[in-house]
């Protein structure tokens, strides 16, 4: 009998033709290259063709939304169980080979994974800064006490060599640094509600997750693991302002993992997280480019009315108001380019020299 990861791997080309462009490569052999920047990617979406494409994609995701949320899917098959920390690690180990296979890479690399209650965005204090901050924190408080304890003759000869003001200033500066570092460390642990539910923190090399049920976790872990892989391959390029490229890439992996689990587990709820995001992000880009190109929006307006009734106007207004479109732009760009390259797009676009 096949293990689940074998079952999942077999899914790779379930709706795609095999393309011999790709050879499984080790992660180190993949050379980073200059990926398309956010502005260029957005400018490539400003066309009537994309507008038309988005109408079709939004209609498709909305009909999927009905199926995914239909009673006979949710009532019988919902998997709302929460995973322990060990089970969470197990899930990442299950997803990793499936994503590696999808991207045609071979690597032993795997990031860490943990739950979090909110991401503060503070730079993590590493071991060295922890030690320095602890020592300086203690020193700042102990110096005056040590001075008090010293016999006057010793103190006099000492302060002749090192001026007292210098000692106090430097311990205060060190102490200040210590307090700042420690407070960063403490603040990181305070739960802060954040828009970012799932994060790949490259400074800790760790995927941070919320305690969602497994059917939400799986595709989201796929997305964050893809960021970890991209960071390994692209290094500095990953950190520059090319968010749309990396988010679009990760959305593709997220969708693939959701679909693969849905098929193997016979439960379309594994697709629900991606599906909700797709409806939202495709509509955001649709209304944005409609406005920019002065194109009618009646088709999607009508779809929203049919599917969401009274709520349609509020949802449409939300889409129109959204200002941060970088994730959405990358998502639409990759999804539309799947038509040209198939699902191999995600493996190809990690290889240097690739052009859309
Ligand atoms: Zn992301």
Q: Is 18 exposed, middle or buried (0-12, 13-18, 19+ CB in 10 A)?
A: exposed
What is the mean predicted confidence (pLDDT) over 106-113?
92
Instruction: Tell me the CA–centroid distance for residue 247 and ligand 1, in Å.
Output: 5
Instruction: Tell me the CA–centroid distance for residue 199 and ligand 1, in Å.
Output: 7
Domain residue extents for the chain: 4-10+17-112+213-348, 127-189
Let me know: does 247 contact 326? Beta carbons within 8 Å: yes
Instruction: Tell me the CA–centroid distance for residue 331 and ligand 1, in Å.
Output: 10
Say yes or no to pLDDT of 208 above 80: yes
SS3 206: strand
253-307 pLDDT, tens digit each: 999 999 999 999 989 999 999 999 999 999 999 999 999 999 999 999 999 999 9
Instruction: Tell me the CA–centroid distance for residue 4 and ligand 1, in Å.
Output: 25
pLDDT value at residue 193: 46
Q: Is 108 exposed, middle or buried (0-12, 13-18, 19+ CB in 10 A)?
A: exposed
Candidate from 133-142, 173-182, 345-354 with smallest mean pLDDT:
133-142
SS3 10: coil
Say yes or no to pLDDT of 252 above 90: yes
Residue 272 is classified by DSSP as: H
**Range of 13-27, 174-188, 202-216 with top mean pLDDT:** 202-216
Candidate from 73-87, 120-134, 155-169, 300-314 with smallest mean pLDDT:
120-134
Instruction: Tell me the CA–centroid distance for residue 315 and ligand 1, in Å.
Output: 23
pLDDT value at residue 13: 45
Query: Measured between alpha carbons, how far is 172 from 345 in angstroms, rounded to an integer?
Result: 56
pLDDT band for position 19 (50/70/90)?
very low
What is the mean predicted confidence (pLDDT) over 222-235?
94
Instruction: Tell me the CA–centroid distance for residue 9 and ligand 1, in Å.
Output: 23
Say yes or no to pLDDT of 341 above 60: yes
Q: 213: Cβ–Cβ under 8 A, 6 or more apart, which residues? A: 78, 79, 80, 81, 82
The more confident residue out of 107 and 191 is 107
Instruction: Tell me the CA–centroid distance for residue 342 and ligand 1, in Å.
Output: 21
| Integer-rounded Cα radius of gyration of the chain | 26
Instruction: Tell me the CA–centroid distance for residue 61 and ligand 1, in Å.
Output: 20
Helix, strand, coil percent content, the chain, rounded in steps of 5: 70, 5, 30
pLDDT value at residue 184: 62
36-61 pLDDT, tens digit each: 999 999 999 998 899 999 999 999 99
What is the mean predicted confidence (pLDDT) over 202-226?
92
pLDDT value at residue 192: 46
Closest of 52, 187, 53 to residue 118, by C-alpha = 187
pLDDT value at residue 298: 96
Instruction: Tell me the CA–centroid distance for residue 194 and ligand 1, in Å.
Output: 14
The length of the chain, given as a count of residues:
356
Instruction: Tell me the CA–centroid distance for residue 117 and ligand 1, in Å.
Output: 17
Nearest-5° angle of CA 235, CA 324, CA 238?
Answer: 5
Say yes or no to pLDDT of 2 above 50: no
Q: Tokens 């494409």 appear where?
A: 53
Candidate from 12-21, 112-121, 302-311 with smallest mean pLDDT:
12-21
pLDDT band for position 70 (50/70/90)?
confident
Contacts 24+ apart (CB under 8 A), 87-94: 88/113, 88/114, 88/115, 88/209, 88/217, 89/113, 91/214, 91/217, 91/218, 91/221, 92/207, 92/221, 92/225, 94/4, 94/5, 94/8
Candidate from 53-67, 109-123, 320-334 with smallest mean pLDDT:
109-123
pLDDT value at residue 146: 74
Query: Measured between alpha carbons, how far is 344 from 356 in angstroms, rounded to an integer?
Result: 12
CA atoms within 13 A on the CB side of 79: 17
Phi and psi angles of residue 263, each rounded to the nearest 5 degrees, phi first? -70, -50
The more confident residue out of 202 and 9 is 202
What is the mean predicted confidence (pLDDT) over 322-339?
94
Whole-number percent of the chain with pLDDT over 90:
51
Average pLDDT, the chain: 83
């Amino acid at each position: 009998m096949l293990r689940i990861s074998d079952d999942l791997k077999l899914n790779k080309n379930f709706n795609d033709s095999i393309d011999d462009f790709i050879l499984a490569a080790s992660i180190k052999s993949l050379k980073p290259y200059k990926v398309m920047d956010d502005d260029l990617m957005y400018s490539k979406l400003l066309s009537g063709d994309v507008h038309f494409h988005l109408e079709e994609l939004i209609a498709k995701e909305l009909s999927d939304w009905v199926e995914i949320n239909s009673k006979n899917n949710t009532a019988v098959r919902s998997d709302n169980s929460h995973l322990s920390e060990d089970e969470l690690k197990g899930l990442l180990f299950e997803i990793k080979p499936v994503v590696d296979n999808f991207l045609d890479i071979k690597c032993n690399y795997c990031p860490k994974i943990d739950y979090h209650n909110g991401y503060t965005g503070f730079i993590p204090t590493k071991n060295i800064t922890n030690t320095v901050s602890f020592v300086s924190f203690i020193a700042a408080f102990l110096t005056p006490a040590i001075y008090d304890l010293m016999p006057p003759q010793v103190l006099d000869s000492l302060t002749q060599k090192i001026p007292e003001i210098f000692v106090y200033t430097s311990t205060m500066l060190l102490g200040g640094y210590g307090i700042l570092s420690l407070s960063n460390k403490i603040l990181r642990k305070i739960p802060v509600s954040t828009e970012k539910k799932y994060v790949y923190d490259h400074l800790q090399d760790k995927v941070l997750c919320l305690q969602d049920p497994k059917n939400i976790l799986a595709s989201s872990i796929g997305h964050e693991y893809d960021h970890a892989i991209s960071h390994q391959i692209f290094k500095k390029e990953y950190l520059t302002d090319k968010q749309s490229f990396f988010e679009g890439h990760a959305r593709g992996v997220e969708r693939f993992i959701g679909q693969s689990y849905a098929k193997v587990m016979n439960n379309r709820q594994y697709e629900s997280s991606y599906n909700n995001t797709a409806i939202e992000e495709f509509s955001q880009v649709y209304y944005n480019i409609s406005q920019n190109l002065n194109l009618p929006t009646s088709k999607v307006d009508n779809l929203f009315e049919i599917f969401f009734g009274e709520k349609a106007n509020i949802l449409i207004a939300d889409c129109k108001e959204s200002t941060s479109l970088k994730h959405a732009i990358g998502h639409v760009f990759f999804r539309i380019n799947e038509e040209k390259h198939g699902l191999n797009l995600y493996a190809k676009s990690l290889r240097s020299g690739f052009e859309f």
